[in-house]
Amino acid sequence: MRTNSGSLVELKVESFKLEGGTCASFTFENLPWCLSSSVVGEWVMKGGGCEKENVPLAYSSNNGACKYQLGTMIGSYLWKTSPLSMVTEGQTWTRVSGLCASPTVFDWSLTLVTSSEGGLMIV
């Protein structure tokens, strides 16, 4: 946890683990990412950590053959639940290189846990 001031929560997201899905591989770039919430039930995630401004979220697929970016990801979460489950719908990622589909639209369901795999809760 980077910040928890009562009006702002900021978390540094250092890695992702994907489970399920149909793609062979994803490599997430511009890590760490910063997840912040200043309104109960809503969150924003951006690339480059919480210290940097205007760094897009990015990932590559197919062993780096295709790269995609998204300025910021926005979504919702259920307050006072552990582990923290977050959802986002219809996030459009723009292809920046490769011959893969563009744009790519994702609906994400994220569960945040600490590096020791303990549950995370915003209260």
**Is 77 a member of any domain?**
yes
**pLDDT higher at 31 or 82:** 31
**Is 120 a member of any domain?**
no
- Which residue pairs from 31-39 have beta carbons closer than 8 angstroms and sit at least 24 positions apart in sequence? 33/57, 34/2, 34/10, 35/10, 35/11, 35/112, 36/3, 36/8, 36/9, 36/10, 36/11, 37/8, 37/9, 37/77, 37/122, 38/7, 38/8, 38/9
pTM, to two decimals: 0.75
At 6, is the pLDDT very low, low, confident or very high (cuts 50, 70, 90)?
Answer: low
**Is 36 a member of any domain?**
yes
pLDDT surpassing 60 at residue 118? no
**Is 122 a member of any domain?**
no
Total domain count for the chain? 1
Range of the domain at 46: 3-112
